[in-house]
Amino acid sequence: MPETVRERTIRWQDPVAFQRAAGKLSGIEVLRAMVRGELPPPPIAELLGLRLTSIGPSVVTFEFDPGEYMYSPLGTVHGGILTVLLDSAMGCAFQTTLPAGTTYTTLELKVNFVRPVTDRSGTMRAEGRVVHAGGTVATTEARLRGADGSLFAHATSTLLVRRPAPG
């Protein structure tokens, strides 16, 4: 069987500019600046082709086009790739609620895959929403849908709020 080699080149900007802005702008302002092109997207977004397409208080939407370079040995997009998309949507939805200098980290993540994704599935959309925005812990949810609205996966997460050190 002849081998067919494919190649992909990835370029990204230094993420330090994004990190510095996060200390000065509210979470929603950081995301809006990224969409306007004033801040570079994080390297993971460039690597996977994630596009932040909608931002509102407590809700964001990402899109991506699945490709065969994302495939697992089973011939479908690896669940880890879909998890990154869902985790990003949930985290950024919570980020929209945060003041300048406050960040978060994912404590727990649960994903349910309900149908396989392939490069023929078309553009996928993940919408993340905040369920509860507490002072220390937040909960979020996300759904991954195809262009026709069909559900491919859904997820929940628990996030830990990280406030800046006093002084």
Name which of 136, 127, 128 is nearest 161 in CA terms.
136
Has residue 11 been placed in a domain?
Answer: no
**pTM metric for this prediction:** 0.93
Mapping DSSP onto H, E and C, the string for 8-24 reads CCCCCCCCHHHHHHHCC
Has residue 29 been placed in a domain?
Answer: yes
Identify the three-state secondary structure at position 148: coil
Has residue 10 been placed in a domain?
Answer: no
Residues 6+ apart with CB under 8 A from 34: 18, 40, 41, 52
Provide the number of structural domains found in the chain. 1
Has residue 5 been placed in a domain?
Answer: no
Instruction: Summarize pLDDT for 54-90 with one digit per residue, the tens.
Output: 999 999 999 999 999 999 999 999 999 999 999 999 9
Top-confidence residue, 93 or 39: 93
Structural domain boundaries, residue 47: 16-162
Q: Give the span between the Cα atoms of 149 and 154, in whole angstroms.
A: 13
